[in-house]
Structure 1
């Protein structure tokens, strides 16, 4: 074989699709904050003590007694689980959901990724909320879509702005919303705006991806009915990760049958099928209505107490130099901080001082697309730690701000 330079083959570059996807700043940050001395408010991690390990183990033993639990399953998910989910989702949207219109996925992130691939061609426009869920940005970048933002306020997506953009000629293929307890902003899409979003989807022919992994985690009042209850042009995504355990990797989507069929075909090429074992475990837990009601009530009480502890500590430590979202559920608090002289603080730089003090958060810029200045904001997760630890985390954050100047 000749070793001459003239016969060398230049390695082919990576595909354009893969070159256009940026990493998750949050996942990168979690690697940096894994030190045992750091109180990390950066992740969206359920509290370990609220994960029903004993009940999962019991259900796993029961599942393993069924031979099919360790075999390949249908691409769309274990039929038993899809039946449970159809019943569950029917109650949420107020009309029957056929299990044939449900696809069980490897977490709701896979549902989002597959939906993006099904609904978007390269160059299509997708509208996201600003600040945006980072997983959605990754999925839409991988689909080579053009991302356009619509701002959020205390009532969620400003649908009046979306309507104005549509009237001005914007023609998105997809509009994405985290309708309940938004990640990262924490807000809930108001009921009248849900109706307007559904009406705009019908009028202009775009698809709505309603991403709802946090909807069960309300503290004082349940959120309004899903957007999926108002239009057939909505794909609704949800997950067992926040109410049972992330490691089960059970998410799902439902909606238009043709779209679900296309998602199924892509899923065949991605993973062939999910885990029949974890599907059977999740089905057994979700089908036990009495146990699930008590379990979710305990989650609401526990997370609500932690949210109040974090917000109270932040108010005490920062006063009016910190603007906080109204935390009504979910796992996150959104905060914007000003320096001692009243100037806005760059939270990406503040993070360096915070790590020195032993506390971490996600800088607001991680949730941006460049269309909005999020540099003075941060996302704080209150779910993972107890009240005393959250109070200590805020004390460390106060010292970090003072150190930063």
Structure 2
């Protein structure tokens, strides 16, 4: 089978039709008109000052608690480098973002994965791990519409996790780029807002709400942590991209960000619903939790479907997916991550139909 067009559930990026191109073009013009000297200079390592202030106001913190970075992945890397030394224990979710695993293992961390269920991280399992003597330096948590599992950490578990961090003296890294992409249910308080003891460092980005190409992310945390990271950033790259940050600032200050979020939420809510319906129709023995927001849906397939065989078969049928084992230290041989952000509504059912054909082929081949 040689389909005319590959349908991709592989990449967590918005399709072009939901990116506000006109709004970004207008924001770029305003940025150059308002501050040509500021955005064409090196700037400072903490980011474009007006955007830094906008982020601080959004989160209700002092501006000295914010550093703006070249995407949230760089924010992650800077914090990991600051806190984690070879041999340090680190908690991550099971499953978790594949680049998180890669970065932490490259730093020599001893990574412990704690199970996720429909309400997020299993804090009872984490408590047992702590009681066994593990003393983590850091717990990396994606609380809203988690990548790759799509689940959200409940309000009760957020509070319980903060209490454990305070009791056992570890930092919670709240990696939260999907928080605003909610299309069902009520927004939950961030752990940053619940924290009263400086145990939480929060990260987010404009990748999912504006577009990936701007490469603008940020960290919010205790002033001393941010100051130390800012010095490292100065030595590493002098300053992040002032032009991108100024465009994002103008986009946000004009209120375009709110319209963009509404557009993305509406489109992704429809696509997630269509994806769930298509899975029930074409792969009825697949198990999954429908997300309330975000970009991803995690699928558990029957044990006779090995994703190492399924992924190439799916590609041959014209659909791209990511195997669950990429997000785990072990296991995931029967799991997939499906990103519904880059597929248009009219592609969803056909994409799952192709995936179902690949599943049938793998089962036939044994």
Determine which of 118, 125, 147 is the counterpart of 1:183: 147
Map of 2:296 onto structure 1: 332
In the alignment, is residue 374 of structure 1 matched against residue 332 of structure 2?
Answer: yes
Asked if 1 retains the 8 angstrom alpha-carbon contact of 2:127 and 2:164, the reply is yes
- Using the alignment, how far apart are the partners of 1:63 and 1:212 within structure 2? 27
Determine which of 105, 110, 128 is the counterpart of 1:164: 128
Asked if 2 retains the 8 angstrom alpha-carbon contact of 1:80 and 1:283, the reply is yes
Asked if 2 retains the 8 angstrom alpha-carbon contact of 1:188 and 1:223, the reply is no
- Using the alignment, how far apart are the partners of 1:388 and 1:295 within structure 2? 21
- Using the alignment, how far apart are the partners of 1:389 and 1:124 within structure 2? 45
The 5 A counterparts of 1:307-386 are 307-319=272-284, 321-338=285-302, 343-370=303-330, 373-386=331-344
Determine which of 219, 244, 267 is the counterpart of 1:278: 244
Asked if 1 retains the 8 angstrom alpha-carbon contact of 2:123 and 2:161, the reply is yes
In the alignment, is residue 245 of structure 1 matched against residue 211 of structure 2?
Answer: yes
How far does residue 227 in structure 1 lie from its aligned partner after superposition? 1.0
In the alignment, is residue 56 of structure 1 matched against residue 12 of structure 2?
Answer: no
Structure 2: unaligned runs, 5 residues or longer: none
Map of 1:100 onto structure 2: 64
In the alignment, is residue 44 of structure 1 matched against residue 12 of structure 2?
Answer: yes
Larger Rg computed on CA atoms: 1
* Larger RCO, structures 1/2 (Cα 8 Å, 6+ apart): 2
Asked if 2 retains the 8 angstrom alpha-carbon contact of 1:180 and 1:223, the reply is no
Asked if 1 retains the 8 angstrom alpha-carbon contact of 2:71 and 2:217, the reply is yes
Determine which of 191, 198, 203 is the counterpart of 2:167: 203
- Using the alignment, how far apart are the partners of 1:272 and 1:264 within structure 2? 10
Asked if 2 retains the 8 angstrom alpha-carbon contact of 1:361 and 1:378, the reply is yes
- Using the alignment, how far apart are the partners of 2:80 and 2:356 within structure 1? 41
Report how many aligned residue pairs link the two structures. Answer: 357
In the alignment, is residue 111 of structure 1 matched against residue 75 of structure 2?
Answer: yes
Cα deviations by residue, 1:49-70 (Å, 9 ceiling, x for unpaired): 1111111111111212322211
Asked if 2 retains the 8 angstrom alpha-carbon contact of 1:108 and 1:237, the reply is yes
Map of 1:6 onto structure 2: none
Map of 2:53 onto structure 1: 83
Asked if 1 retains the 8 angstrom alpha-carbon contact of 2:307 and 2:323, the reply is yes
The 5 A counterparts of 1:114-153 are 114-153=78-117
- Using the alignment, how far apart are the partners of 2:22 and 2:86 within structure 1? 46
Secondary structure of 2:297's counterpart equals strand
- Using the alignment, how far apart are the partners of 1:198 and 1:49 within structure 2? 39
In the alignment, is residue 390 of structure 1 matched against residue 348 of structure 2?
Answer: yes
> Mean alpha-carbon deviation: is it higher for 237-246 or for 269-278?
269-278
Runs of 4+ deviating beyond 3 Å: none
CA RMSD of aligned residues (A): 1.3
Structure 1: unaligned runs, 5 residues or longer: 1-34, 91-96
Cα deviations by residue, 1:138-187 (Å, 9 ceiling, x for unpaired): 22123221111110000000011111111111100000000000000000
Per the normalisation by structure 2, the TM-score is 0.95
Secondary structure of 1:329's counterpart equals coil
Cα deviations by residue, 1:111-157 (Å, 9 ceiling, x for unpaired): 00000010111111111000111121122123221111110000000
Asked if 2 retains the 8 angstrom alpha-carbon contact of 1:217 and 1:299, the reply is yes
How far does residue 36 in structure 1 lie from its aligned partner after superposition? 7.1
Secondary structure of 1:210's counterpart equals strand
How far does residue 73 in structure 1 lie from its aligned partner after superposition? 0.6
Cα deviations by residue, 1:199-226 (Å, 9 ceiling, x for unpaired): 0111111001000000100011233101
Cα deviations by residue, 1:337-362 (Å, 9 ceiling, x for unpaired): 12xxxx43111211111111111100
Per the normalisation by structure 1, the TM-score is 0.86
In the alignment, is residue 294 of structure 1 matched against residue 259 of structure 2?
Answer: yes
Asked if 2 retains the 8 angstrom alpha-carbon contact of 1:359 and 1:393, the reply is yes
